[in-house]
Amino acid sequence: MMKYTSRSYKDLALRQDLFEPIDIHFAYFMERISGKENSVLWLSAALLSRNTRDGHICLDLDNLAGKALGGDEDIHQCPACPALDEWLEQLRSTPVVGEPSGFVPLVLDPPRLYLWRYWNYETKLANKLLSMSSRESTIDMLLLKNGLERLFPSAGPAVIDWQKNAAALCLKKCFSVVSGGPGTGKTTTVTRILALLLEQDQNLNIALCAPTGKAAERLRKTLQSLVPVLDCAEKIKDLIPVEASTIHRLLGYIPGSSRFRYCQDNPLPYDAVIVDEASMVDLALMSKLVQALKDDSRLILLGDKDQLASVEAGYVLGDICDTGYSHGYSACISRALKDLTGCDVQGGAEPGMQDSIVELKTNYRFKDDSPLKKLSTAVNAGDAAAGLAVLKSGDSSGLRLNRVPQPDDLFNALNQAIIDGYKSYLAASDMAQQFELFGRFQVLCALRKGPFGAVNINAVIEDILLQQGLIRTKDRQYHGRPVLVTTNDYSLRLFNGDVGIILHDPEVNDLRAVFPSADGQFRKLSPGRLPDHETAFAITVHKSQGSEFDNVLLILPDRDSPVLTRELIYTGITRARNEFEILMDETVFRTALGRRIIRSSGLRDHLWAGH
């Protein structure tokens, strides 16, 4: 295999386009400030920059050591990465790389190489979570036991009530995670947890938040419907918070800065913080949130550990839950749960992170024979054969499988589904009805760009609607255009993930961007004032996280892509409440289900050391 030289990596990168310009500039910058030309440092910095853009926290040298750079099969054209020992030695010899205790641009924590800020985020998050998970809250056990029996009536001694166990664990531990797929009752459970917390201490100051404005609004609406029917005292119901904010707003985002008002030196004034849709939270934001908690605060994360990872770097909820592995509770937690809930949860492991995690396993939305449940279960297990069998079965009511068309036939292939899905809201005249009808159907794409990406599919949808006379123009703004905000604008109170509709407002005889507000009313503003946004007839699966629709159409590309993973398809399927249609190639589907999201990180090792 070709030995690397001082120029070989750089020449190869420029010749084969292995890196983006930002990666190359960063690599040259690291080499320049190191004081001398160093091919291994240059390669390491370029790979690390590329990895970070791809959502990884670090560069795992062990995975690449000795392997051909870029995967080129011709070893005479593609030099190999150094052997691990040699790689580590070269990196340790340069002043821009240091050990974890140092303050240098690049941190070497063998076999991982980090940008300093990501190493700092990861280390602080891991240390705080380990500290919190080891602590238990001081609670009135008899009061809690009575509350659990009232709010979670027993289904029988042989039935393990995982919602009840989750509530008991969340009251007992300072840090807890409630994971579960759609329909398992995460929000129902947390509503009862809020009541139990306030029964323990009516002066408790509680904050509710989510990664996006849309997810926060959905949490608010669900809580507003659930709180009135709780089996608890009216004064407790009155104390339960229902308003939720974005995490950025909670922390006090400082415009033009990566910093927040609330931080380690100025902690949040809350005794408990509850985060919904935690799978969407990236490493940097989760680390900043956890660092901003008071020393005696309680943190509860809600989410689906099997969903897509965050758009930004990290797979935080997956790492916290050690997704893909099963861990039993410790003997002390098993005894406590038995005493509090009557559920016999076996356990004998050493105390650890698993004592802070509960997975809700009963689905209250779908019966066991539901085609949607069967399909999502098969996909989550990576069982392509079972998934295809469900899609192809004649009794799969609500499921439809169609082959992905050729790019030039997308108009015809999508025509009827688009007309059926969007004509009702476009024909409605009442604003509330327009939003309600629009929220029933959504086109999801695996990709953003390309013939099957959201950008092009939106253009095809506009052509279909224009031909049908359901929209009158394809100008930048037009009556009926759905828009998805893609950035946070605190002055306008619009946040990444917020969805609105451009509508003709008879009061001003002009177009207005209309968004639902927290009080159930609508906010209107000039379309010209909108922050960055995009058309939302079709959105990426990533953008759909935190949302649910009656009817979903998922479009996969006609060829494989590294973006296509088991988690992406599972997330797309579980956005549907009633009906689901997928356009796909079977080979692409099988390949995608065999690929899992793997993001290089040391967080899992930090949290699960010894397990």
Q: What are 522-539's pLDDT values in tens digits?
A: 889 999 999 999 999 999
Phi, psi of 90 (to 5 degrees): -65, -40
pLDDT classification of 196: cutoffs 50, 70, 90: very high
Q: Does the pLDDT at position 115 exceed 70?
A: yes
Separation between Cα atoms, residue 555 and residue 576, nearest integer Å: 14
Give the pLDDT confidence score for residue 182 in this predicted structure: 82
For position 12, what pLDDT does the model report?
Answer: 66
The more confident residue out of 132 and 486 is: 132
Q: Rounded to whole angstroms, how far apart are CA atoms 452 and 424?
A: 25
**Phi, psi of 283, deg, nearest 5:** -60, -50
pLDDT band at 264 (very low <50, low <70, confident <90, very high): very high
Whether 125 and 283 have beta carbons less than 8 Å apart is answered as yes
Residue 518 confidence (pLDDT) above 80: no
> Considering the entire predicted model, what is its pTM?
0.88
The number of beta carbons lying within 10 Å of the beta carbon of residue 263 is: 15
Q: Which two tokens stand for residue 507?
A: 């009061």
pLDDT at residue number 342: 84
Of residues 72 and 352, which shows the higher confidence score?
A: 352
**pLDDT for residue 8:** 63
Find tokens 């969805």 and name the residue: 499
pLDDT of residue 328: 86
Average pLDDT rounded to a whole number, residues 288-292: 97
pLDDT class of 19 with cuts at 50, 70, 90? confident
Average pLDDT over residues 485-512: 86
Top pLDDT among 366 and 293 is at 293
Burial group, residue 346, by CB count within 10 angstroms (0-12, 13-18, 19+):
exposed
Q: How many CB atoms lie within 10 A of CB 253?
A: 19
Distance between CA atoms of residues 540 and 536, nearest Å: 9
What local confidence, expressed as pLDDT, does residue 158 receive? Answer: 65
How many other CB atoms sit within 10 Å of the CB of residue 423?
A: 14
Residue 71 — pLDDT band, cuts 50, 70, 90? Answer: low
Between 450 and 5, name the one with better pLDDT.
Answer: 450
- Write the DSSP assignment of 233-298 as a string of letters: -HHHHHHS----EEHHHHHTB-TTSS-BSSSSSS--S-SEEEESSGGG--HHHHHHHHHTS-TT-E
Selection from 306, 197, 292 nearest residue 252 by Cα: 292
Least confident residue range of 104-113, 123-132, 153-162, 209-218: 153-162
Q: How confident is the model at residue 611 (pLDDT cuts 50, 70, 90)?
A: low
Tokens for 117, please give them: 């800020």
Is pLDDT at 77 greater than 70 in this prediction? no
Those residues whose C-beta lies under 8 Å from the C-beta of residue 399, and which sit 6 or more positions away, are 371, 372, 375, 390, 391, 579, 580, 581
The reported pLDDT for the residue numbered 323 is 84
User: What is the reported pLDDT for 448?
Assistant: 92
Question: pLDDT-based confidence at 74, cuts 50/70/90?
Answer: very low
- In this structure, which long-range contacts are made by residues 336-339, counting pairs with CB atoms below 8 Å and at least 24 apart in sequence? 336/168, 336/172, 337/165, 337/168, 337/169, 339/141, 339/145
User: Residue 152 in contact with residue 177, Cβ under 8 Å?
Assistant: no
Confidence class for position 487, pLDDT limits 50, 70, 90: confident
Give pLDDT, residue 6.
46
The Cα 553–Cα 582 span in angstroms is 6
Distance in angstroms (rounded) separating the CA atoms of residues 383 and 400 = 18
Region of poorest pLDDT, from 35-44, 110-119, 414-423: 35-44
Q: What is the pLDDT of residue 125?
A: 97
CA atoms of 261 and 282, how far apart (whole Å): 19
Quote the percentage of the chain above a pLDDT of 70: 93
Q: What distance in Å separates the CA atoms of residue 497 and residue 187, rounded to the nearest whole number?
A: 20
Over 80: is that where the pLDDT of 101 sits? no
Tell me the one-letter amino acid at 38.
N
pLDDT at 185 over 70: yes
Note whether 596 and 307 are within 8 A (CB): no
Helical axes 566-573 vs 586-593, angle rounded to 10°: 110
Tell me whether strands 206-210 and 272-275 are parallel, antiparallel or unpaired: parallel
555-591 pLDDT, tens digit each: 999 999 988 999 999 999 999 999 999 999 999 999 9
25 vs 258: which has the higher pLDDT? 25
> Cβ contacts of residue 252 below 8 Å, gap of 6+?
260, 261, 262
Q: Which of 411, 345, 318 is nearest to 608 (CA)?
A: 318
Residue percentage of the chain with pLDDT more than 90: 63
Q: What is the predicted pLDDT for the residue at 605?
A: 92
